[in-house]
Amino acid sequence: METKEKVLMQKYEVGRLLGQGTFGKVYYGRNLKTGEGVALKVIDKEKVVKVGLIDQTKREISVMSLIKHQNVVNLHEVMATKTKIYFVMEYAKGGELFHKVAKGRLKEDVARKYFQQLISAISFCHARGVYHRDLKPENLLLDEYGVLKVSDFGLSAFSESKRQDGLLHTTCGTPAYVAPEVISRRGYDGAKADIWSCGVILFVLLAGYLPFHDSNLMEMYRKISRGEYKCPNWFPPEVKRLLSRILDPNPKSRISIARIMENPWFRKGLNTSKKVGVLDVEKLPEPSEVVNVVETKMELAKPSNLNAFDIISLSAGFDLSGLFVSNDEKDEFQFTSVKSPCTILSKFEEIGANVGLKMTKKDRGSLRLEGSNEGKNGNLSIDIEIFEIGPVFHLVEVKKCSGDSIDYRCLMRRDIKPKIGEIVWAWQGEQQLSN
């Protein structure tokens, strides 16, 4: 973005670049009416749709609208143009907590204060069925008074995202802070996984380095899975005992948020007239109070590339499809898969043969299925294209190339979507086939 300032929606003066979010850039802004400083997160709408981040963006808006707490970054409003989406958020002037830790370990009382505020925020989130899933010092900001603010809910999940076994199944987060059950990919309790990450953060605040670290990623995962770490000799005994309960590799016996709040070391210095986790909570807003969609022609810089975990979505959140999909863009859908490209294409080829569609094109990552009966808009043809997001994850795009849209959607609902469940990890933008 140019260094000279611009005005957004005739409401916010846009200034310097503050940094990168999960999949967007963040700028400093100033409310022209009140003079208040804000953070402006800018997302490229075309990339969101193209790469399948519709659900993730909607989820982040939904989560931030639900969570109103003094230790969570507040979302003021969401605005959109034809090409961009703007999150207008509370500005945390103190920057990332990570920068404090990078200078060296914190004093015990300072580390405890931040840990108390972190647990307060996470307890509040969990009470509303929201799990952060990417807790780390880089996602913990400080305001001008040194108050901790949890940020970046781009990888969060709702309790409704659980499968029938009551667990979440999306592998996401930052390796050094991720709980062992998340790595194992057998399903995990979102609350217990967040608690583990909070324990790693507490260790980092007090020690100045990570409890689980190795140049070999698989060796680091082995240490995490076994809970192998060593506390430095300056850790007080009560901290070591608390960490042993938090960094328990067995989620069933891992300490709960409620038990952490009852811990004597944790409770030192707290105002006992207030319960941790319900500090200065505002009344939850209606979506209309937070999500304000405005159209204009202003343009800002495009966000940088996305990582694999940005792609995975398990909850649709609020119905904000109007921000992303117009009526003439609904003849396609996407989903993510952990199956190989060969397995994915073979499944579509099998289904196509069963419903009378001929395979006319195939290479390593794409397939075309074509009908023999000419409709009023020509032969129906469907392209299946696979994008490699990482060594494990793939984004699959199914798109009508020609033929009648009604025939296409009928075929999808009746013959194709019900039969591809075994290769689907998570649906993306499922509302695109609802019309």
- Of 255, 280, 295, the domain-final residue: 255
Which pLDDT does position 318 carry in this prediction? 32
CB environment 245-276: b (16+ within 10 A), e (fewer): bbbbbebeebbebeebbebeebeeeeeeeeeb
Nearest to 80 by CA among 44, 38, 112, 122: 44
Closest of 291, 309, 310 to residue 87, by C-alpha: 291
Residues of each annotated binding site for ATP: 41
Report yes or no on 400 lying in a domain. Answer: yes
Using the predicted structure, report yes or no on whether residue 112 has a pLDDT greater than 90.
Answer: yes
133: Cβ contacts below 8 Å, ≥ 6 apart: 155, 156, 157, 168, 170, 172, 173, 190, 193, 194
Instruction: Specify if 308 maps to a domain.
Output: no
DSSP 298-363: ---PPP----GGGG------S--GGGT--TTS-SEEEEEE-S-HHHHHHHHHHHHHHTTEEEEEEE
* Same domain flag for 112 and 209: yes
DSSP designation for 284: P
Closest by alpha carbon to 313, among 113, 62, 95? 62
Residue 398 domain-assigned (yes or no): yes
| Residue 90, pLDDT score | 92
Note the pLDDT of residue 331.
Answer: 77
Only one residue has tokens 């659980």, namely 162
Query: To the nearest whole percent, how much of the chain has pLDDT over 90?
Result: 28
pLDDT at site 153: 67
Q: Over the stretch 364-404, which tens digit does the pLDDT of each residue have?
A: 568 888 887 766 667 889 989 887 655 456 778 888 888 88
Q: How confident is the model at residue 127 (pLDDT cuts 50, 70, 90)?
A: confident
The whole-number average pLDDT for the span 407-414 is 88
Residues 114 and 242 grouped into a single domain = yes
The confidence band for 20, taking pLDDT boundaries of 50, 70 and 90, is low
CATH number of the domain enclosing 164: 1.10.510.10
**When comparing pLDDT for 304 and 352, which is higher?**
352
Block residue for tokens 């199944």 = 169
Residues annotated in a binding site: 41
CA–CA gap between residue 31 and residue 34 (Å, rounded): 6
Average pLDDT taken over every residue of the chain: 76
How confident is the model at residue 364, as a pLDDT?
A: 59
Looking at per-residue pLDDT, the higher value among 62 and 229 belongs to: 229
pLDDT category, 265, cuts 50, 70, 90? Answer: very high
pLDDT attached to residue 85: 86
CB of 117 closer than 8 Å to CB of 111: no
Task: Tell me which DSSP letter residue 27 carries.
Answer: E
**CB of 125 closer than 8 Å to CB of 94:** no
Which residues touch 66 (CB under 8 Å, ≥6 apart)? 128, 130, 284
Identify which has the larger pLDDT, 249 or 160. 249
Q: End of a domain among 255, 287, 309?
A: 255
pLDDT at 62: 73
Query: Do residues 243 and 334 share a domain?
Result: no
Distance between terminal CA atoms of the chain? 38
If asked whether residues 243 and 108 sit together in one domain, one would say yes
Mean pLDDT on 3-26 = 76
Is 135's pLDDT higher than 80?
yes
Regarding whether 217 and 108 lie in a shared domain, the answer is yes
Query: How high is the pLDDT of residue 190?
Result: 83
Q: Which helix (H) or strand (E) holds 227?
A: none
Q: How much is the pLDDT for 303?
A: 27
Greater pLDDT, 341 or 141: 141
How many beta carbons lie within 10 A of that of residue 349, not counting itself? 16
Domain total in the chain: 2
For the record, the structure tokens of 72 come out as 């969570």
Alpha-carbon distance of 172 to 182, in angstroms, equals: 8
211: its two tokens? 């409890």
Clarify whether residues 221 and 342 are in a common domain: no
Residue 393: the pLDDT is: 61
Q: Read off the tokens for 155.
A: 């990888």
Q: 260 in a domain, yes or no?
A: no
Do the Cβ atoms of 193 and 161 come closer than 8 Å?
Answer: no
**How is residue 339 written in tokens?**
């199956």
Would residue 156 count as lying in a domain?
Answer: yes
Q: What is the mean pLDDT of residues 119-134?
A: 87
Q: Are residues 225 and 372 in the same domain?
A: no
Give yes or no: residues 100 and 244 share one domain. yes
Residue 393 lies in a domain: yes
Q: What pLDDT, on the 0 to 100 scale, is given for residue 330?
A: 57
Average pLDDT in the 135-141 region? 89
Q: Are residues 249 and 339 in the same domain?
A: no
Burial of 357 (0-12, 13-18, 19+ CB in 10 A): buried
148 plus 232 within the same structural domain:
yes
Kindly report which listed range (11-15, 171-175, 309-313) carries the lowest average pLDDT score. 309-313
Residue 346 predicted with pLDDT over 60: yes
Whether residue 66 is contained in a domain is answered as no
Specify whether the CB–CB gap between 36 and 15 falls below 8 A.
no
Rounded CA separation 123/161 (Å): 18
pTM: 0.60
What CATH number did the domain enclosing 378 receive? 3.30.310.80
Task: Identify whether residues 204 and 336 lie together within a single domain.
Answer: no
Which of 246-250, 277-281, 392-396 has the highest mean predicted lDDT (pLDDT)? 246-250
**pLDDT(162) > 50:** no
195 vs 173, more confident: 195
pLDDT at residue number 367: 85
Domain end position, chosen among 227, 255, 283: 255
Give pLDDT tens digits for 49-103. Answer: 766 667 777 777 777 777 788 999 888 888 888 888 898 999 999 988 988 888 8
Domain that holds residue 248: 95-255
Mean pLDDT in residue range 248-264: 95
Same structural domain for residues 238 and 346? no
Which is more confidently placed, 215 or 76? 76
| Per annotation, catalytic residue among 134, 152, 189, 248 | 134
Tell me if residue 165 is catalytic: no
- How many angstroms separate the CA atoms of 170 and 168, rounded? 6
Q: What is the pLDDT of residue 431?
A: 38
Does any domain span residue 344?
yes
